[in-house]
Chains A and B, each alone.
Chain A
Amino acid sequence: MSSTDTPIAEIPGDTLRERIVDDLRTKIGADLVDSLVKPGDDVWVRVSTDAWRRTGVALREMGFEYFCFLSAIDWMPSPFGKGEDDPTAPPTERDDTVKQGYAGGATRMQVLARLVHPALHVGINIKCDVSDSEPVVESWVSVFAGANWHEREAHEMFGIGFAGHPDLRNMYLPTEFEGHPLRKDFPLLARMVKPWPGIVDVEPMPGGSADEEGDAE
């Protein structure tokens, strides 16, 4: 979904958030690849991979001083679905087209960060593409000291490198652990062994009718 075909654009604009995108565009120029403003809700921007650190510096100068989080998204649909398959049956064919979310994208992996302007109380979600062949972006540690642990986590869970990070040790997993658990192609072993019985949760309650509305479960 790119920013042009979303129905949100029909809602009257949000001058504050649009001004933030414009300010960022004057600072980093063509490195601001795509943006999406949801009026009264949130802002998404996508910057080019080379400008990742420069965007952090520019936004900090614009007053986005509060570092909220940094993580990544793997846009590839999971080849294992939701783990509802019978492990003894042959694997199901699944759609494996990579489809990015707000503000578009070109690669399977994307880095995602959020900064907040503490005076305006406005946040901004920043994304950048990470190439499959060389999954490395610049580190934000020298811009926001708090990015240190978040980058370690993203490195461990998604296998994304952060150039300039002082120490990309594992946070949670043993050092010798192989694989990156939050990548979609990393299987959740518990579900491989035994399919989750609760994924189809539509049996009627005892004594209730199946089509009743207003019951969330």
Chain B
Amino acid sequence: MTSTESLIDRRQLAYIASQAADARLNVELETEGMTLNIGPQHPATHGTLRIIAHLDGEQVVWAEPSCGYMHRGYEKLTEVRTYPQVTSLVNRIDWLGSFANEVPFILAAEKLMGVEAPPRAQWIRTILFELSRIANVSLFLGDLGVQLGAITPVFMAFRDREHVLNLIEATTGGRFHPNFDRIGGLKDDLPAGFIDETRAVMKTMRNFCTEIEDLLFGNEIFQSRTRGIGVIPKDIAMQYGMSGANARASGIDWDLRRDQSLPMAWDKVEWKVWTHPDGDSFARCWIRLQEVREATLIVDQLLDNIPTGPIMAKVPRIIKVPEGEAWVSTENPLGEMGYYVVSKGDLGPFRTKIRSASFNNISIVPWILKGVYVPDIITILASLYFILGDIDR
């Protein structure tokens, strides 16, 4: 009896001594801090973003993203290509929603040429645009779980996203890089059976959203890891040029699909722009979940009455765009994606400024990571949602 007691005492003493040693060590370290490299290869970076975080204990003193591991110089490359050749480049900016990248560039070129795609092409463009959004954001919803240590959602996301990719592949011939949009219309018409198939897939995607909502958004751990974490106030979001779901999660009621007139079919259907007042990680994730749902409803409505007619306007075989400057941006899956195209009446653009959503959305990272705890870095980055190709271009 006594021998066990003394054993426990000795253990306790040893434990206390080791704790005291640790504490002394911590006191010594506290003044120095520690620099932690997250990435370039890290599951939370969707590519190769490196974040240099300077830590004081568990808190971030400052953090600085280091970009450029995937810079491909598309702005320079557009200057040596013809207009129709640029779509194959810009396809690869946000590689999860490729078709959506092509649309604003083509619209800018059409604006300069004074060409408008026929109604049928506009509707099919809008359908494919929303399908890209669903494919892109549904992967975000699955990936979100992985960042928090839940493995199941990502398998569900890959399972259901495959159906959407099949639809895109059936129409365009490419799962990831469609290269399908043309100045004046589209390359091809919809394949046979597309409408029925898409309706079924949209139902599947709505079920997927409900599943994710039950599994993830109602989860207590998920809520405690995201609620009140990484709050971005409205004015800060504006200053940094945050767009898309990140802006709407900060209470900014702004959606380029609704708030500008483009030759697309969004104004022909009924849908809702979701906003959230909180501005935290949870709000950003929640908005995206609602947007996938809303996108499936948009597609469903568009399928009901696709106009008949040609899919290509009359454009010359060799495309020369008249001199001028044009800016067109659309509400892409990641936020506002725009092209400032300068034409000199040549075969290709004189200068293209590619304004990608993630570049602005990620430039807030040094501000938002200040003072957060290490595990929250990952959830905040995940909720800001970026694609590396969209930052570096």
Contacts of B347 in A (CB 8 A): 82, 199
A216 touching B183, Cβ below 8 Å: yes
Q: A89 an interface residue at 8 Å Cβ cutoff?
A: no
Q: Which of B338-353 contact A (CB under 8 A)?
A: 338, 340, 342, 344, 347-348, 351, 353
| Residue of A whose beta carbon sits closest to that of B313 | A214
- A73-B241 CB under 8 A given contacts A145-B236, A172-B392: no
Compute how far the CA of A182 lies from the CA of B80 in the bound complex, rounded to whole angstroms.
12
Compute how far the CA of A73 lies from the CA of B85 in the bound complex, rounded to whole angstroms.
22
Chain A binder among B285-293, B314-322, B371-379:
B314-322
Q: A114 an interface residue at 8 Å Cβ cutoff?
A: yes
Q: B76 an interface residue at 8 Å Cβ cutoff?
A: yes
Contacts of A73 in B (CB 8 A): 342, 351, 353
- A216-B239 CB under 8 A given contacts A71-B340, A102-B325: no
Interface size classification for chain A? 35 or more
Contacts of A112 in B (CB 8 A): 340, 353
A78 touching B79, Cβ below 8 Å: yes
B325 touching A217, Cβ below 8 Å: no
Q: A79 an interface residue at 8 Å Cβ cutoff?
A: no
Compute how far the CA of A44 lies from the CA of B326 in the bound complex, rounded to whole angstroms.
10
Q: A173 an interface residue at 8 Å Cβ cutoff?
A: yes
Contacts of A114 in B (CB 8 A): 327, 340, 355
Query: In the complex, which of the residues A146, A199, A214 contacts B312, with contact meaning CB atoms closer than 8 Å?
Result: A214
Q: B73 an interface residue at 8 Å Cβ cutoff?
A: yes
Contacts of A68 in B (CB 8 A): 241, 329, 336, 338, 355
Compute how far the CA of A47 lies from the CA of B72 in the bound complex, rounded to whole angstroms.
32
Contacts of B79 in A (CB 8 A): 78, 82
B75 touching A182, Cβ below 8 Å: yes
A149 touching B252, Cβ below 8 Å: no
Contacts of A198 in B (CB 8 A): 81-82, 85
Contacts of B344 in A (CB 8 A): 77, 99
Binding site for A on B (CB under 8 A): 67-68, 71, 73, 75-77, 79-82, 84-85, 111, 182-185, 187, 235-236, 238-241, 252, 254, 259-260, 312-319, 323-327, 329, 336, 338, 340, 342, 344, 347-348, 351, 353, 355, 359-360, 363-364, 367, 392
List 17 contacting pairs A-B, 8 Å CB cutoff, sorted by A. Answer: A65-B238, A67-B238, A67-B241, A69-B338, A77-B344, A101-B342, A118-B252, A121-B254, A121-B260, A149-B363, A171-B67, A172-B68, A172-B71, A181-B76, A188-B76, A198-B82, A214-B315
Known: A146-B239, A199-B80. 12 other contacts (CB 8 A): A66-B241, A69-B360, A114-B327, A118-B252, A173-B68, A214-B312, A214-B313, A214-B314, A215-B312, A216-B185, A216-B187, A216-B312
Question: Which 5 pairs, one residue from A and one from B, show the smallest C-beta to C-beta distance?
Answer: A172-B68, A146-B240, A216-B182, A172-B71, A149-B363
Binding site for B on A (CB under 8 A): 1, 41-42, 44, 65-69, 71, 73-74, 77-78, 82-83, 99, 101-102, 112, 114, 118, 121, 123, 125, 144-146, 148-150, 157, 170-173, 181-182, 188, 191, 196, 198-199, 201-202, 210-217
